[in-house]
Amino acid sequence: MLRAAYGKDIRIGMKTLSENLIHFFHKQTFTIISTIDKKGFPHNSCKGIVKINKSGQIYLLDLYKAQTFENLKRNPHIAITAVDEHKFRGFCLKGTAKIIRGDRLSSHIITAWEKRITHRITQRVLKNIAGEKGHPQHPEVLLPKPEYMIVMQAEEVIDLTPQHLKHTEVQR
C-alpha cells in the first residue's frame, strides 16, 4: 500500500472500500454471487456476507459444496451484487476468490455467521408479528453447517445506482 501526499491510501491491484459501501453490504440479508460454469456461462447463487473489510476482502460462508464450489475451483473470478430496492441503489464487487476448507474456519468466522443467522431469524419473527407473513417456517434454523468459506479480494466496484439519481442521494 502506498500513501498519497494528501493522506489517502492507494492500493495497487485491489480496492479500498468505503465505510458507506461496507455498511451497505452488511445491511443486505443476502447477496447474489456470480461465478463462471464449465461451459463459460454465468452461474448465480445467494450467499450472505459474514465479514467485509476496508482492504476489499469479503468473507462468505457456503453451506453446500455444489456449483459455486466447482466453478471457483476451475475459475477464481467472482462478482458479488447487492441491491436495496427501496433506496434504488446497488453495487457490484468484482474480483478473485480463494476457497478455505470448512475444517480450517476460525471460531470468530463461525460466530459471526451464527450472529447473522440469529439476526435473520429475529427479523423474520418480527415481520410475522407485524403481520407480514412470509415463509411459514424459519428456514434459517434448518441450514446445515458451512462446508467452506469463500474469501474474495475486490478489484473493482461498480455503482449500479442510475446516474440521474446519484446527485439526489443522501449519504448516510
Is the pLDDT at 12 greater than 80, yes or no? no
CATH number at 39 reads 2.30.110.10
114 occurs within a structural domain: no
Total domains, the chain = 1
Name the nearest CA neighbour of 58 among 68, 66, 48.
48
Written as nine digits, the cell of 48 is 450472505
Calpha distance 62→25 (Å, rounded) = 17
Q: Please report whether residue 73 resides in a domain.
A: yes
Residue type, 84: D
Chain segment 113-144, per-residue pLDDT in tens: 777 767 666 777 777 777 777 666 666 655 55
Mean pLDDT, residues 96-121: 75
Residue 31's H or E segment, with its range, is: strand 31-36
Burial (CB count <10 Å: 0-12, 13-18, 19+), residue 90: middle
The grid coordinates of residue 37 equal: 460454469
Reported as a pLDDT band with limits 50, 70 and 90, residue 171 is: very low
The stretches of 80-160 forming alpha helices (DSSP H) are 107-129
pLDDT of residue 104: 73
Give the cell for residue 150: 469463500
pTM for this structure?
A: 0.71
39 occurs within a structural domain:
yes
Say which amino acid occupies 78.
I
Mean pLDDT calculated for residue range 53-79: 91
Q: Domain span at residue 91? A: 2-101+145-161
